[in-house]
Amino acid sequence: MIEVDAEKCSGCKKCVKVCPYGAVTMADKLAVIGDECNLCGACEQNCPEGAITIQRKKVEIDESKFKDVWVVAEIAENKLKNVTLELLGKGRELADELGQTLCAVLIGKDVKSYTKVLGEYGADKIYLAENDLLEFYNTDSYNMIISGMILQFNPNIVLFGATHVGRDLAPRIASNLELGLTADCTGLSIDEGRLLQTRPAFGGNVMADILSHTRPQMATVRPNVMKKLESPTDKVPEIVEVSVNVDPRGMRTKVLERTEISGVGAVKIDEADVIIAGGRGLGSKENLKLLQDLADELGGVLGASRVIVDEQWLPKSQQIGQSGITVSPKLYIGAGISGAIQHLVGMKSSDTIIVINKDPNAPIFEVAKIGVVGDLTQVIPALIEAIKAHKAAQ
């Protein structure tokens, strides 16, 4: 239920401007809420007088009213992020098991062309909201638009990538709509019709299974954990265009300038094919050069254990593991890393793992395809020479 307190309303019209669904009008300098209102909360949050209040009734959930699995799509550098396709792969499994529809939510400026790929990777239906002001991700507008869509269409499950955007957006929506949210899931399955959400807990030492008592059931999922469809289909998805009204005055932040990152961090490690990672065994920041030389030979990027990031030898963007980034490259080479569980959860699904460690009992050898027992300051230069010689011989 939404109410406007006539005593408090000053007739400032801010609610009219911020409503993404054009549901608020003015009559005699008083805000009037129309039938288009889906209780997204934009007017309540932006009213300077606190004149608008929404009360969402706490009622016993009728689970049968909530249908379909939604994946909130993310675009970066003019393409869909891999994690979106991975979520569609998992979403397809969940939707099939539930006998429900797999939908993608696509928001942005001129983004309709991405619907084709979303269909090819499993989406049956796409909720599409386009507006020139949605060119760049914006917490306020994306929150209100997706909150509104959720209230209008009642999805059963909503999945987000555990990316910078997903980690910002999903909790906002959960808070706005008073929903549960499980962050950083590493497993999703259906248990008696409900979404069983699995994630590491207690420092990664146990895996916790979590059920939500609110609907939709919402989760963020780390990149490189789920598998996208191996071969894209030729499915053409149904498109539901959701008309949205975006006013810059409803956005508290604005993108002033975009800068391309160069050097370390330019290639995101969760998208890299080859990662050369270093740990405390490097001994000094100077020895990072050894890793960089190897990375240059193999066309790879640098990764790190948390120790290296804590020492500020590499930025946090390169940290692999539970409190860093989950990676799944074709080749992971780890040098001077012991293999603590918090590191292993972030790299063990790499295709080929090669490790260099002077301690033959280091736990990282247990996940390695090739293990070299030795001092990295000797092994890496020898490896670089061998690669150079191999290249020269070709």
Q: What residues line the site for ligand FAD (CB under 6 A)?
A: 203, 279-281, 283, 305-307, 319-324, 336-338, 340, 342-343, 346, 356-359, 362, 375-377
- The CB-of-46 to ligand FAD minimum distance in angstroms stands at 37
- The CB-of-285 to ligand FAD minimum distance in angstroms stands at 13
Cβ-based neighbour number of residue 285 at 10 Å:
12
- The CB-of-390 to ligand FAD minimum distance in angstroms stands at 23
Residue 53 vs 378, nearer CB to ligand FAD: 378
DSSP state, 24? E
C-alpha distances out from residue 354 to 50, 264, 321, 334, Å: 59, 21, 17, 6
- The CB-of-164 to ligand FAD minimum distance in angstroms stands at 16
- The CB-of-380 to ligand FAD minimum distance in angstroms stands at 9
- The CB-of-382 to ligand FAD minimum distance in angstroms stands at 13
Residue pair 346/325 in contact (Cβ under 8 Å)? The answer is yes
Residue 253 structure tokens: 């932040």
C-alpha distances out from residue 117 to 1, 10, 181, 229, 238, Å: 39, 47, 27, 12, 13
Nearest of 82, 117, 143 to residue 325 by alpha carbon: 82
Residue 115 vs 287, nearer CB to ligand FAD: 287
- The CB-of-345 to ligand FAD minimum distance in angstroms stands at 8
Nearest of 128, 3, 124, 26 to residue 67 by alpha carbon: 124
CB under 8 Å to 5, separation ≥6 — which residues? 51, 52, 53
DSSP state, 230? S
Residue 212 vs 318, nearer CB to ligand FAD: 318
Q: What is the DSSP string of 333-359?
A: EEES----HHHHTTTTT-SEEEEEES-
Residue 233 structure tokens: 């289909």
Residue 68 vs 270, nearer CB to ligand FAD: 270
Residue 73 vs 372, nearer CB to ligand FAD: 372
Residue 61 vs 201, nearer CB to ligand FAD: 201
Residue 78 vs 361, nearer CB to ligand FAD: 361
